[in-house]
Structure 1
Amino acid sequence: MIDETVQQIQDEQIQSASIVAVKAAEALNVLSNREYHTVEDFMRSLVRNSRTLRQANLSHAMLYTTQQRIIAKVNESDPETVAAAQERLQTVTQDVATEIESSREQAAEKAATLIDDGDVLLTHECSSTVIATLNNALESGKQFELYVTESRPQYLGRKMIRQFANRVGVDATLIVDGATGYYLSEVDRVFIGMNCLIDEVVYNHIGTYPLVATAASEEVPVTVVGSASKFIGSGFQFTNEFGLNSEVLREPAEGFNVGNPTYDATPTRLLETVVTDDGMMRF
């Protein structure tokens, strides 16, 4: 299961940072069913496999922080037997997964209060926390129009908009990435997810920065929504990922290069609000 999860992360089959962190935590549970001679053998295996999961994508800050927390929590319990260490691992990974799910829902509930009935909203890529935010608004009886960017080159917006196709209370439209400037004049608020927030910079799927910068120019408020655990302190160095040329071109790139970064950096000064399970910050 660990190798399969690593492959899924590397192939970006799991786009949401929160879901990546949950899947990686759950993958470690396979170690609870393996045989080890000593606690030390088990801990070495846990550390090695956790490192493998973290290295599957060096840009996923939440993956880094949750895996570090799992190791620390198991280690600090000072288990005396292999069975005790394995039981502790199961408990910790379940706690981590539950915390991630809970923090996402709490952030979504807070962010949904920013949506008024009849609003026109715009979002980019396919954030699970933004999806939860919009679902919260619908469940409270609000109706809204929704523009979703295609979010090339992986077309994450196509996955996003299918979550709201034919939903009562939503008039959903998929737009090409370059058309955000055209549609922003109609928009009341932009909602964006995040991979992580380091210092005063939000790292998120490529295309976020030009969208937010254009929204700021048009005086359309932008809200970033995500778990507070995506606020990263020391110990993590963000490393961008670059996609394959084949994501951009069907034919080989002959005589030229292809620039396909996965993430870009958006300064918080361009945002109106960042909403997490801990609360709401205004800029």
Structure 2
Amino acid sequence: MGDHDIHPSVTEIAEDIAEMEIRGAATIADATARALAEQAAGSDAATPEAFESELRDAARRLLDTRPTAVSLPNSLRYVLQRTEGETVEELRESAVAGAREFRDRLDSAQTDLGSIGANRLRDGDTVLFHCHSTDVMACIRAAREQGKSIDAIVKETRPRRQGHITAKQLRELGVSVTLIVDGAAGRYLGDADHVFVGADSVTADGSVVNKIGTRQLAVTARERDTPIVVAAQTLKLDPTTLTGQTVEIEMREESEVLSEGDRAEIGDITVENPAFDVTPPRYVDAIVTERGQFPPESIVFLMRELFGEQASQPWEE
């Protein structure tokens, strides 16, 4: 079984995730489920064993794209665990149905989360944002639909400047936006009533893995007594950490930080470009999910309820 059995849509989606053409945990999870559905629908496997092998190959191809994006394996886990049947056609139908169910739940989860997160915001609040998160945007959208006026301070979030996406979407919601460079966050935290950030993943002890710079912002926010709220669907909970597995931090290309021309001018230096950092639970006030809001130390109970004591890896079976 090899790459020739993987549907072209899977390869295309995997490449788009790796290149960050598809970004954001919910968007990645949705695309992953869609890719598995297309793999299942387009498979011409002759036997159930061959079909399941192809589906696992496709899952592993997708899994290799972003090692820290926990929404991706959670999406794969959901679809593969619901792929059942004695014949190829039964397996195909259950895989496609599982992917559809997952994508439908994804839609309602973000709406529910947004309503819960909006309850933390009052009319006239100023919110400071880091990076871009569709879960965070759902909270702001819900607050605006409730008629609340919100002002925004947006960190540009280098090196890829995802803050520009946040700024654009906030303006579309009628929010007044001030864009700042990352290093200016400490100066503006005194003007903010809340810091809202998303999460790439949340570990069993309530630590938050998010875009590099989150920890630094959270530590400074705590010193300034500005509450920091993490908006994260249960899709972002990392069940592998229940058994003590450590989080792998993705290192991205140095070209995002330094051009070839600058490198030639500066000389022989090492460039490191970690995509994420880990914020300990003591710096986080609340984690807002579609299941309610939790102090970070309580997230382990929700994780056990959702996943049991440890998560299976169905792409390896």
Query: Which TM-score band (shorter chain)?
Result: over 0.9
Aligned partner of 1:217 in structure 2 is 223
Alignment of 1:39-58 (within 5 A): 39-58=48-67
Letter in 2 for 1:196: S
Alignment of 1:71-110 (within 5 A): 71-74=80-83, 77=84, 79-110=85-116
Aligned partner of 1:182 in structure 2 is 187
**SS class of match (2:171):** coil
TM-superposed CA distance for 1:166, in Å, is: 5.4
Aligned partner of 1:3 in structure 2 is 11
**SS class of match (1:163):** helix
Alignment of 1:225-244 (within 5 A): 225-234=231-240, 237-244=246-253
- Aligned-partner Cα distance in 2 for 1:270–1:101: 29
TM-superposed CA distance for 1:229, in Å, is: 2.8
TM-superposed CA distance for 1:237, in Å, is: 4.8
**SS class of match (2:248):** coil
TM-score norm. by structure 1 comes to: 0.95
- Whether the 8 Å contact between 1:124 and 1:157 is mirrored in structure 2 is yes
User: Cα distance 1:237–1:41, how it changes in 2: closer, same or farther (>3 A)?
Assistant: farther
- Aligned-partner Cα distance in 2 for 1:166–1:132: 13
Kindly indicate whether residue 74 of structure 2 is the aligned counterpart of residue 68 of structure 1: no
Letter in 1 for 2:188: Y
User: Cα distance 1:15–1:166, how it changes in 2: closer, same or farther (>3 A)?
Assistant: closer
Structure 1: unaligned runs, 5 residues or longer: none
TM-superposed CA distance for 1:101, in Å, is: 2.1
Q: For 1:180-208, what per-residue CA distance to the aligned partner results, in whole angstroms no more than 9, with x for missing partners?
A: 00111110001010011112310001111
- Aligned-partner Cα distance in 2 for 1:62–1:268: 20
- Whether the 8 Å contact between 1:15 and 1:126 is mirrored in structure 2 is no
Q: For 1:89-117, what per-residue CA distance to the aligned partner results, in whole angstroms no more than 9, with x for missing partners?
A: 11000111122222222111101000000
Q: For 1:54-78, what per-residue CA distance to the aligned partner results, in whole angstroms no more than 9, with x for missing partners?
A: 111111111112212211210xx3x
Letter in 2 for 1:35: D
Alignment of 1:1-283 (within 5 A): 1-31=9-39, 32-74=41-83, 77=84, 79-165=85-171, 167-168=173-174, 170-198=175-203, 199-234=205-240, 237-250=246-259, 251=261, 253=263, 254-282=267-295
Letter in 1 for 2:279: T
Higher relative strand content: 1
- Aligned-partner Cα distance in 1 for 2:139–2:157: 19
TM-superposed CA distance for 1:50, in Å, is: 0.5
**SS class of match (2:131):** coil
Higher relative helix content: 2
TM-superposed CA distance for 1:252, in Å, is: 5.2
- Whether the 8 Å contact between 1:61 and 1:238 is mirrored in structure 2 is no
- Aligned-partner Cα distance in 2 for 1:14–1:57: 11
Structure 2: unaligned runs, 5 residues or longer: 1-8, 297-317
- Aligned-partner Cα distance in 1 for 2:247–2:101: 26
- Aligned-partner Cα distance in 2 for 1:51–1:172: 41
Aligned partner of 2:5 in structure 1 is none
**SS class of match (1:125):** coil
User: Cα distance 1:132–1:166, how it changes in 2: closer, same or farther (>3 A)?
Assistant: closer
- Aligned-partner Cα distance in 1 for 2:217–2:278: 12
**SS class of match (1:130):** helix
- Aligned-partner Cα distance in 2 for 1:183–1:109: 27
- Whether the 8 Å contact between 1:58 and 1:238 is mirrored in structure 2 is no
Aligned partner of 2:313 in structure 1 is none
- Aligned-partner Cα distance in 1 for 2:231–2:195: 11
Counting matched residue pairs gives 279
Identity value in percent: 29
Q: For 1:6-42, what per-residue CA distance to the aligned partner results, in whole angstroms no more than 9, with x for missing partners?
A: 1111112222111101101101122212211111111
Comparing 211-220 and 240-249, the one that deviates more: 240-249
- Whether the 8 Å contact between 1:107 and 1:129 is mirrored in structure 2 is yes
- Aligned-partner Cα distance in 1 for 2:284–2:172: 31
- Aligned-partner Cα distance in 2 for 1:72–1:167: 38
- Aligned-partner Cα distance in 2 for 1:249–1:29: 39
TM-score norm. by structure 2 comes to: 0.85
